[in-house]
Chain A
Amino acid sequence: MYKMRYAAPRTLTEALRLLGEEREGVYVVAGSTNVLPDLRAKKIRPSLLLSIEKLGELKGIHADGDVVTVGALTTINELLASRDIELNAGILHQAAQRFADPLVRNRATIGGNLANASPAADSAVPLLALDAVLDICSARGEREVPLSSFFTGPGKTVLERDELIRAVRFPSDSENQKAFIKFGLREAMAISLVSVGVELRIQKDEVAYARVAFGAVAPTPMRGFRTEEFLVGKKLTAEVLDEARQVASREVRPISDVRATESYRRHISGVLLGRAIKMALGGGMS
């Protein structure tokens, strides 16, 4: 008969040991906002629910000089409350404001949101735009993975069975201009139809640096490499912006579902990109 156990280790070493030992079906739980519906829907049938809630090592936000480190267990509301995030990663702050609803934000963690690897994961888009890197650990040791190569498919990541996300790191470059926009069918508790994050640096009227990320328009949250490529070196005229929209609409790979059609999502991706760029530049367009 199917059995399931629960464990809530207090140290990272203990957690990693359990994670290493448990050959099959260990499921890591943080805020548990996803695990319960999945269990009920029988999407998962783990033999062990491993709660990492009690691991102090995975908590806290540190901004030292040019790097911001966010512990994987940081809840979305903790992000919202953090002055460091507001200052050094306004884009992440903006995303947090639109994340699910106020109650879920008290439980959902940034690590969980990433590990869950939903194509619409709202925290992934700004972090991609921020060029974030994940600190991943296991009993075997530590490694770091750029977020842009972390997701491999809906609900799939490069995480090995015995690995945990320990923290998310990104450069705290407050000179760059950033913006995040989420488009959903409802003002709250809405799954993104499309979300866009951009980070830009303009030198002598030209785009010197561009990071573009999209959510809910591909099997995974995605970097808009082609859009970035297109933008770099350009002067952001209305025409360029128009073209950028087209590039984005072509680059995204959305599907049609009950919420919207593929073509509508492509269209919205372009629209949102344009708006995000304007927002980032504070409406200051040439």
Chain B
Amino acid sequence: MTEGYAIELTVNGRQVSAEVRADETLLEFLRTQLRIIDAKSGCGKGDCGTCTVLLDGLPVKSCIVLAASADGKDVKTLSGMQNEPLVKALQESFVTHGAVQCGFCTPGMILTAASYLNEHKNPSRDDIRRALSGNLCRCTGYKKIVDATQAVARRNE
């Protein structure tokens, strides 16, 4: 048992106030309280990156972020960014490059790629590999993911 803690935050552009447990993770909060499902739970301890969300614009692993510490912050998941040109471009690129197989890593992968490409204009393949190295994929072997990301980076130049 832990006592509730009241938080107010913005989730995908929506003002949200809620009560969370002291030990509630941001991921648990998003999935069970707000029923936002595009952030996945793959390992529960920050080893896989399927739970990636943007916290005040920075990609983080929401399964190791306290929901309470998102108080006053801005949280974005992929489903809240469908209209951002860069995200759209990445989604399109992932689809056409065949970078999506089982799809479980895809939302987190695209979020990480998007926030990286926001900062970095013409990254090398290795830069991209390092940037995405916190997000595991077990299906693709990463090549098509790097291809897809690089293609968008080139377009941004």
Measuring CB to CB, which residues of chain A are less than 8 angstroms from any residue of chain B?
Answer: 1-6, 8, 29, 32-37, 39-40, 49, 51, 53, 77, 100-104, 106-107, 187-189
Instruction: List the 9 closest pairs (A to B, CB-CB), nearest first.
Output: A101-B134, A188-B133, A6-B22, A4-B2, A103-B134, A37-B45, A106-B58, A6-B5, A4-B22
Task: Give me 5 A-to-B residue pairs in the complex whose CB atoms sit less than 8 angstroms apart, sorted by A's number.
Answer: A6-B68, A37-B64, A40-B45, A103-B134, A104-B46
B8–chain A nearest beta-carbon distance, Å: 12
Q: How far is the CB of B128 from chain A (nearest CB, A)?
A: 11
Residues of chain B within 8 A of A51, CB atoms compared: 66, 68-69
Tell me which residues across on chain A come within 8 A of B45, comparing CB atoms: 36-37, 40
Closest residue on chain A to residue B22 by CB atoms: A6
> CB distance B66 to A106 under 8 Å?
no
CA distance A1 to B3 in the complex (A): 12
Q: Shortest distance in angstroms between B82's beta carbon and chain A's nearest beta carbon?
A: 21
In the bound complex, CA of A163 to CA of B47 (Å): 30
Please indicate which of the listed interface residues B22, B61, B71, B116 has the most CB atoms of chain A within 10 Å of its own CB: B22
A3 to B21 CA separation, bound complex (whole angstroms): 10
Check: B1 CB closer than 8 A to any chain A CB: yes
Number of interface residues of B (CB under 8 A): 34
A53 to B134, CA, bound (A): 23
Q: Is B23 an interface residue (CB 8 A)?
A: yes
**What is the minimal beta-carbon distance from B47 to any residue of chain A, in angstroms?**
7
Distance in angstroms from A60 CB to nearest chain B CB is: 17
Q: How far is the CB of B112 from chain A (nearest CB, A)?
A: 7
Residues in A with CB closer than 8 Å to B1 are 1-4
Residues of chain B whose beta carbon lies under 8 Å from any beta carbon of chain A: 1-3, 5, 21-23, 25, 44-47, 49, 52, 55, 58-61, 63-66, 68-69, 71, 112, 116, 130-135
- The reply to whether B46 and A5 contact each other, CB–CB distance below 8 Å, is no
A-chain residues with CB within 8 Å of residue B116 when the two chains form the complex: 102
Cα of A34 to Cα of B49 in the assembled complex, Å? 15
Contact between chains at B59 and A8 (CB < 8 Å): no
B49 surroundings in chain A (CB, below 8 A): 101, 103
Q: Count A/B pairs, Cβ under 8 Å.
A: 100
Q: Are A189 and B47 in contact (CB under 8 A)?
A: yes
- Between B55, B60, B131, the greatest number of chain A beta carbons within 10 A of the residue's beta carbon is seen for B60
Q: Is the Cβ of B66 less than 8 Å from the Cβ of A29? A: yes
Are A53's CB and B69's CB within 8 A? Answer: yes
Q: Which residues of B contact A102 (CB under 8 A)?
A: 59, 112, 116, 130-134
User: Contacts A51-B68, A103-B59: A5 and B2 contacting too (C-beta < 8 A)?
Assistant: yes
A190's nearest neighbour on chain B, judged by CB, is B133
The interface residues of chain B lying within 8 Å CB-to-CB of A5 are: 2-3, 5, 22
A34 CB to closest chain B CB, in angstroms? Answer: 8
Neighbouring A residues of B59 by C-beta, 8 Å: 102-103, 106
Q: Are A33 and B64 in contact (CB under 8 A)?
A: yes
Additional A-B contact list (10), CB under 8 Å, known A100-B134, A103-B46: A2-B1, A3-B2, A8-B71, A35-B66, A36-B63, A49-B23, A51-B69, A103-B49, A106-B60, A189-B47
The CA-CA distance from A103 to B131 in the complex, in Å, is 9
Nearest chain-A residue to B73 (Cβ)?
A53
Known contacts: A3-B3, A189-B133. The answer to whether A103 contacts B112 by CB under 8 A is yes
What chain A residues lie within 8 Å of B22 (beta carbons)?
4-6, 49
Residues of A within 8 A of B65 (CB): 32, 36, 107
- Are B61's CB and A32's CB within 8 A? no
Contacting pair A8 B68 (CB below 8 A): yes
For A53, the closest partner residue in chain B by CB is: B69
Smallest CB–CB gap between B157 and chain A, Å? 22
